[in-house]
Chains A and B, each alone.
Chain A
C-alpha cells in the first residue's frame, strides 16, 4: 500500500517560482479554510451535493448486476451460472481438505487425521524450517486448539485457508507474470490493485453474496478475492527485482521464453514470492473470520455468534484460538520464506533427510496409536478438553464490576467533550473546499495528473451522495490517527534505541499484526460496549502498529556516520534526535502514518459491527439487503478516501526523499 503505481516517476521539484516559505502553506490551505469559514454564505450545493445532482452509480451497477444475474448473456447460461459453477469447483477441494483434517471420509470408511499427527507434523515442520523453538511454538499452538476444545472449528477454518491460499496465490502470481510481460496489462492492473487493496473487507462479501449466495463456499471465494491482490503486487515486484544478468544468463543458455519464465525468472523471484505467500495466508485467515458474515463456517462463525449474543467470555476463548492459529501459520510461512537452500552431505536416507523420516515416523506412529490403542489420539472427547471460558467470563465480570463506572465516565466524557464537537466540526466541511484542498496539494506535490486524480476521488464521494456519511468516517479515522501518532511515535522512538528494544518491539508488532482485525473488537466491546468510543479504541489498537514500526525502522535506518557526526559536533542525545535523526527518518514516518490511515479505514468499516453511523453502517446495510451496487459504491468511497491520503503522502515522501538524496 505504501508503494503505489504513480509514486516512482515524479521529477525533482525544480524551476518552480520562488516564494517565501510561509506563502506555500498559506496558498495551499488558505482557500480551504476560507471556504470552511464562509460555509454559511456558500450556496447550499457547494456544501453538500443536492439530491437531484447525485450520480446514480448504484443504479448503474445494479442494472449491470441484474443483467448478469438474469439475462442469458452467454447464450446458454448466465454469468451467475458461471460464478455458481466456480463455487462448485472450489467445493470439492474444500471437501477433500476438510475430510483429511476433520470430517474424514465416511463413504470410504476413512477417519480424518488424528490430532496428535497434525500437532506432530506442525512441530516437525517448524523444526525443519527453523529449529526447536519454532517447533515448540507451532506444535504448542496447534495442540492448544485440541486441548481446549476448539479442534473441529479450527480445522474447518484451517481447511478454508489451505484451499483459499493456494488458489489466491496462483491467481496472484499469474496476474503478476502477465503484468510483467505485457505493459498494457500492467497499466490496467496497478490501479485495480490499488483500489482492491483499499476496499473494505465487507465490500468483497456483497458481490459474492449476490452472485454465489451465502454459505461456506461463498465465504471461501470472497476470501480468495480478498487475499489475491498482495500476491499479484509482490509477484510484480519480485519478477522486476530479478538481477538483469540472471535473465540474460537464461537467454544465453538458450531458453525459450517459456523455459526462461519457469526455470529462471519465477525461481529467481522466490524470496519475494514467498513473502507474498505469507501475506496471502494471513489475509486468508483474516478474511475467513469476516466471511462468516456470508456464512463461512469455522471459528469466525462461532465468534460472530458469541459476539452478537454478547457472550464476551466465550468470544475471548475463540479469539485466543484464532490468534494462536494466526501466529502458527505466520511463523511457519515466514520461516519458509526465509529458508535458503543448503547442500546435503551424503549419508543414509534417515541422516540426509531426518525431517522427512521423522514425519514418516509420526504419521505411522500416530495412525497406529489412533487405530489400535486409544481413540484419544484421534480426537479428544469433550470431557477431556479444558474450557477457559469460565476464566474469561470471570475476567469480564471483574472488569465490568470494578471498572464499569470509571469506564463509563471516561467514555461519556470523551464523547461529550471531544468526539461530538469534533464530529460537528468535520461535518462543517463543504465538499468544494476539500476538492480544492486536495487538488492544490496534489498539484504542488507532483503536478496536474495527481491533482486531477485526487480531486476525482473526492468528487466521486460527493456526487455518489455519501458526503455527510463520509465526513463521519473521516472524523473517526482522523481522531484515531492522531491518537495513534501521539501514542505510536514516542513508542517508536523508544524502541529504536537499542537492539534489544527493537527486537522486542518488532516481535510485538509482528504478532499483533497477524491477528485478524475482527479480533480487536472483542476486548473493546468488553470495555466500552458499543458506539464511537469503542470503535475508535479498536481502530487505535489496530492502526497504531504501522506507525510504531515505521518510526522505529526509519530512525534505525539513519546512517550511523551521520549520527556519529552529530555526536562529535557536540549534540546532546535530544538534539541528535530532533535535529538529525527525526528529519532524516521523517519520510519513512510519513509512510507509516499512511499505513496507519489505511489500517484505520479498514477497521472503521469493521467497527460498523458495533454500531457506528458512518459509511461502514451503509455497507453493513447493503450486506443485509444484498445490495451489490450500494455495497460497491460505498466501498469505493472508503477506498477513495484511503487512496487520496495514500497518493498525496506517497508523493510527498518521494519528493522529500529526493531532496534528501536518499531515494
Chain B
C-alpha cells in the first residue's frame, strides 16, 4: 500500500436500519438527497484519504460534519458501514478484536475533547493506565509515566486527581496518557476546543514543540480554521460527511474547490500565510536585471519590494537559481481576489 501510514478508501458511515443493505441497493454511492430521503443519517460519506508518516493531517469541519465519526472510523471505535481502512498496509476492518487491542496497545494514541480522564486515578495512574492494561510492571510503567509528565510539564502534580487540575492541565494529562505507549499514530479529537482561547494558543505551541521532537503521524480534528492553518501540513475540509477538499492551506486559499471552502478561507490573512512560491509563475523571468526574492518568503515579507518594482520580479531558490517570476497583478489577485 505504498508508504502512507493510514489510508482509507470510500469509507461510509450511515446511521439507520440496515445501512449496508441500503448502500448495496444504491450501487454503493447514493447521493445525499437519496440518503436523507431514505431516513438515514449520513455521518461519513465516501471518504478517501491518506496520511503520510510524520504528517499532520487536520480534518476541519463544523459540528455535525462527521469529522469526529471519521476519526473514530479510522481508529475503529466506530465500525464503518462500508469502505476500506489500511494501517501500515494492514486492512484494519479485517483485524480481529484481539488484533485491534494489540494495535491500540502499541500503535495508536488518542486525545479527547473533554479529556476523558479516569476520575478515580491520580495523574500518574492515568498516564500509566495504557501500560497497566498491557501488563507492564508497576515500577517500569511509573518510570515511563514520570518521563512523559516531565515532557508535558506536569512535574509536581503526579499525585493529584483530575478534578484538582485546570482544563489545560487536564488535557496535558490526556496528551501524556496518549503518548505513554509511544504510538506511531496519534489521533487528536478537538483536543483544545474545550479550553479558553489563551490556553488554547499555549497548548497549540506546546503541541508543535512536542511534534518537533516526536514526529508522529497525526490526525487532528478541529472546527477552528485558524487552528488548522497553524498546525496542519494538509487540511481536509468536511461538509455533511463528505471531504470537500483536501490540500495544503495555501492550496485551499488560492484554489478553493467549492464556495463552502471559499467561505472558510475568506477571512484568513493571506499575506502571512502564502509564500512567493504559491503565487509566482513557474517560468523563470527573462529579464534578470531587477531585484530578486526568495521563493520561500511570505508575501508579507516581500510586499515592499513588490510595490516598489514595476517589472516582474525574479524568484530564486535557496541556491540563488531562478525558479519563477512574481507579477504584482498576481499578488494583488491572490491577496484580494475572490473576496466580495
Contacts and interface: CB of A to CB of B under 8 A. Distances in A.
Interface of A: 243, 245-246, 248-256, 259, 263-264, 267-268, 270, 340-344
B116 A243 contact: yes
Nearest to A253: B130
25 contacts: A243-B114, A245-B114, A246-B116, A246-B117, A248-B72, A248-B77, A248-B112, A250-B118, A251-B77, A252-B77, A252-B110, A252-B178, A254-B102, A254-B104, A254-B105, A254-B181, A263-B129, A263-B132, A267-B119, A267-B121, A268-B119, A270-B119, A270-B120, A340-B163, A343-B122
Interface in B149-206: 159-161, 163-164, 174, 177-178, 181, 187
A256 B101 contact: yes
Contacts of A246: 116-118
B108 A268 contact: no
B113 interface: yes
Nearest to A346: B159
A252 B119 contact: no
Residue of A250, A255, A267 contacting most chain B CB atoms (<10 Å): A255
Given A251-B77, A254-B133, A268 B120 contact: yes
B112 A249 contact: yes
Contact of B130 (A254, A256, A342): A254
Contacts of A253: 104-105, 129-130, 133, 177
Contact of A245 (B104, B112, B134, B161): B112
B108 to A, nearest CB: 6
B6 to A, nearest CB: 15
A249 B130 CA distance: 9
Nearest to B121: A267
B312 interface: no
A442 B178 CA distance: 51
Residue of A259, A263, A343 contacting most chain B CB atoms (<10 Å): A343
Given A341-B119, A342-B164, A259 B110 contact: no
The 7 closest A-B pairs by CB, nearest first: A254-B105, A245-B116, A249-B116, A253-B130, A254-B104, A252-B110, A343-B159
Nearest to B112: A245
Contacts of A245: 112-116
B254 to A, nearest CB: 37
Nearest to B163: A340
Interface in B84-105: 101-102, 104-105
Residue of B106, B113, B119, B164 contacting most chain A CB atoms (<10 Å): B119
A254 B110 CA distance: 11
Contact of B101 (A248, A254, A263, A267): A254
Residue of A253, A256, A270 contacting most chain B CB atoms (<10 Å): A253
A255 B108 CA distance: 13
Given A248-B116, A270-B119, 19 more contacts: A245-B112, A245-B115, A252-B75, A252-B109, A252-B110, A252-B187, A253-B104, A254-B105, A254-B130, A259-B133, A263-B132, A267-B118, A268-B118, A340-B161, A340-B163, A341-B119, A341-B161, A343-B160, A343-B161
A246 B178 CA distance: 13
Nearest to A247: B116
A249 B108 CA distance: 11
Contacts of B75: 252
B118 A251 contact: no
Nearest to B75: A252
B241 to A, nearest CB: 19
Contacts of A342: 161, 164
A252 B104 contact: yes
Nearest to B106: A254
A635 B102 CA distance: 53
Contacts of B104: 251-254
A263 B121 CA distance: 10
Given A254-B101, A254-B134, A343-B160, A249 B110 contact: yes
Contacts of A344: 159
Residue of A259, A264, A341 contacting most chain B CB atoms (<10 Å): A341
A270 B134 CA distance: 24
A412 to B, nearest CB: 60
Nearest to A245: B116
A267 B120 contact: yes
A254 to B, nearest CB: 3
Nearest to A252: B110
Nearest to B119: A268
Contacts of A341: 119-120, 122, 161, 163
Contacts of B110: 248-249, 252
Contacts of A248: 72, 77, 110, 112, 116
A243 B113 CA distance: 11
A270 B77 CA distance: 24
B133 A263 contact: yes
A469 to B, nearest CB: 48
Contacts of B117: 246, 249
A340 to B, nearest CB: 6
A267 B159 CA distance: 18
A243 B132 CA distance: 22
Contacts of B105: 253-254
A255 B131 CA distance: 10
B118 A255 contact: no
Contacts of A251: 77, 104
A341 B164 CA distance: 9
Interface in B15-47: none
A270 B119 CA distance: 9
A255 B97 CA distance: 11
Contacts of B72: 248
A245 B188 CA distance: 12
Contacts of B187: 252
Nearest to A254: B105
Nearest to A244: B116
A258 to B, nearest CB: 10
A268 B187 CA distance: 23
A84 B110 CA distance: 52
B175 to A, nearest CB: 12
A342 B160 CA distance: 7
A251 B164 CA distance: 25
A256 B118 CA distance: 16
A243 to B, nearest CB: 7
A351 to B, nearest CB: 14
A95 B55 CA distance: 66
A249 B127 CA distance: 12
B92 to A, nearest CB: 14
Contacts of B132: 263
Nearest to A259: B133
A249 B120 CA distance: 14
A402 to B, nearest CB: 57
Contacts of B108: 252
A441 to B, nearest CB: 32
Contacts of B112: 245, 248-249
B116 A255 contact: no
Contacts of A267: 118-121
B166 to A, nearest CB: 14
A126 B18 CA distance: 55
A344 B161 CA distance: 10
Nearest to B126: A249
A214 to B, nearest CB: 43
A341 B119 CA distance: 8
A341 B75 CA distance: 32
Contacts of B116: 243, 245-246, 248-249
A364 to B, nearest CB: 29
Nearest to A264: B118
A138 B161 CA distance: 28
Contacts of B133: 253-256, 259, 263
Residue of B120, B159, B160, B174 contacting most chain A CB atoms (<10 Å): B120
